[in-house]
Structure 1
């Protein structure tokens, strides 16, 4: 296999794994583990334990179940990514001299996409002390696509990312008030990326990458009484070893498939949650604070290419508050608000529309039978405008004659999202 320069690998692998997910949460985190959680902006999710999906946020909550519990659901995700006030500059250089400059609009109405995130959970109490459980859900994933004729398609194109988490967890009740939990997480991911150069449509790259890693989680629950409890959880995220084959075709004289292993550091997460069912009331209040260690993603490194791109991300925070209203034996209503801080700091991109975000959520549970119910959750994610300046070094378009192309885009990106979830829960 022929080697490629550092900037090529940066475009290929960095974009493949890290581009579109920011439409939902900062960095490339995707909170779609529970439809009930979706309906309350995930406020209190590390301690509420109203269905088996709670084990995804805190394995210690399994100790709160005295019956076998099953939850299965899907979340529909629609992202809306806009590029506005965008100017795209192209410079043609030949023999070291600037030959031609052109400036065009690079606005784009909707580079978002649609995705479906499934999940399933099973909690099995062994006795009044021990419980175990298995889970399968999505950590990260979405699809973002610019049209084939987008003028700045070396910055846009197709990005399709999917991630799957398979977990095995256990909990132990140490006392009437205190429980602990732990679990292992196997995370697998796939990513596809296409980039081209306009106006010829020449393919700059095609990538199909896969990888996996092993993480773990720890949790604790403290119950003051039946109506008040607190939860604390820690998730260790692995460094993903992502392998892919890249095929450059079209405008480069020397092209061909390249193999490399790229190391993707994922963030650790710590979450604290509280739940309080108000005395002599149908109302419960709940809240969460979550820290996400995105500063670990300082750069993207590969075993062959070394450091291939700086990112210089910063740690992120979630602040969520919500309320549940137990209307009657059949209906439970909920709502919540979450503020999510951006993982990006100074380095931004039109393909990474990351910003501080607000989550506005509502949902309900309908009791089907004495031991089964359905959850519905809806969240609208409102992002902020982000100023973007990106440039590419001189791209060789005619090496023999010393002709190169340099491009630059100045723009404002904005990303919103809508999430709709439906989940079935049953105890045995």
Structure 2
């Protein structure tokens, strides 16, 4: 792999260190397009089209509206990250374990809370064409460990944000088929800081990584289609190409945000002569391209100006199913369940905790009048325990020279566990 491509494995991947507020999906995907989606675990979200937020999942679904639609809201994401059974072993610990035993490196809660706003607008031009614009975030994480954390080269500060600004159009071919496409302008910003602990020989207390507010822009795109079997049954398919782009901080340190491509299939079926509908989604997330991290032009790091860290992630999947109950003209109730597969394969890491996850979701819509409504959604996300082992390699290691020191400057073994609570509030209106 060439150097340019390696750069494209950097910022977002790195910046999920030790506690993914990513917590919302495996890897560090942040599902924050709508409160409605949170209330049904995003089951059927590429085709339900109950408000303008559907354009974030499938641009073709804009063809299902005959009036101008506006949705705006926010989501709160609280991650609860635990690092337990953690043992940190510095340089002396590895050379003389009887004299310097491993230190505890447990953390009760490495999570945080963040707010993600969103806005979506769909404007039908006629019975064939519609256009729309939106803004939301799809990836992000923030974690900050204490300066006194014993395994500081594995903790530190991690803060990343990505914002998606979209412009899309749709075309209705006939009563069954609609198509759509859009462009995504993505802005990313991230900070990552790591300091070698005092237990690391010769470099204790030195900055390993100190990238501060690196940012950049990139362009992606999305395409989709909707097939309507009849007024109560429809299917949606959408593909999102996520860009890779270079980010740079004020010191000239370069990193690149790699974001995975997404492919989603959704179905919606309202049971005839009832108030109930069932909906589902299967989503593919292309995490397999995230094989390692590379930092370039690090300032004064003892690891060197170019530093690689392998991750070797695998592609991920979401499987979601949900139900909607149209109680009356004022209230719509919904619930959903999602199983979310881990992006990590055989190589696990404390610096990017991940696991298979389950979503338990519920929500409602209150119709203020025939043209406006308020949505609320809630999700409790449960992750699995994952055993991890990490090491910081000794750049001077020479197996033929005992004076060169041990193979690793330090090691860390632990079990990570990540849960999260999400809730969203949203206002929608037709014009």
Same fold (TM > 0.5): yes
Report the TM-score when normalising by structure 1: 0.88
Which residue of structure 1 aligns with residue 221 of structure 2?
216
Secondary structure of the 1:363 match is strand
Cα deviation for residue 102 of structure 1 reads 2.9
Q: Write the deviation string for residues 21-64 of structure 1: whole angstroms up to 9, x where unpaired.
A: 44221111111101001000000000000000000000001000
Which residue of structure 2 aligns with residue 251 of structure 1?
none
Secondary structure of the 1:327 match is coil
Which residue of structure 2 aligns with residue 377 of structure 1?
377
Matches within 5 A, 1:410-425: 410-425=413-428
Cα deviation for residue 17 of structure 1 reads 5.8
Which residue of structure 2 aligns with residue 358 of structure 1?
358
Cα deviation for residue 98 of structure 1 reads 5.8
Which residue of structure 1 aligns with residue 120 of structure 2?
121
Which residue of structure 1 aligns with residue 134 of structure 2?
135
2:305 matched to 1:300?
no
State how far apart, in whole Å, the 2-side matches of 1:321 and 1:281 are.
19
RMSD of aligned residue pairs (Cα, Å): 2.5
State how far apart, in whole Å, the 1-side matches of 2:123 and 2:68 are.
5
Cα deviation for residue 311 of structure 1 reads 1.7
Return closer, same or farther for 1:103/1:395 CA change in 2, 3 Å cut-off: farther
**Retained in 1: the 8 A contact 2:57–2:238?**
yes
Which residue of structure 1 aligns with residue 284 of structure 2?
291
**Which is richer in strand?**
1
State how far apart, in whole Å, the 2-side matches of 1:280 and 1:163 are.
43
Matches within 5 A, 1:26-425: 26-92=26-92, 101-198=100-197, 202=205, 204=207, 205-208=209-212, 209-245=214-250, 257=251, 259-301=252-294, 308-394=308-394, 406-425=409-428
Task: Structure 1: give runs of 5+ residues left out of the alignment.
Answer: 1-9, 246-256
Q: Write the deviation string for residues 174-221 of structure 1: whole angstroms up to 9, x where unpaired.
A: 001110000000111111122224459935242121122111000100
Secondary structure of the 2:329 match is coil
Task: Structure 2: give runs of 5+ residues left out of the alignment.
Answer: 1-8, 298-304, 397-402
Return closer, same or farther for 1:303/1:159 CA change in 2, 3 Å cut-off: closer
Report the TM-score when normalising by structure 2: 0.87
Cα deviation for residue 235 of structure 1 reads 0.5
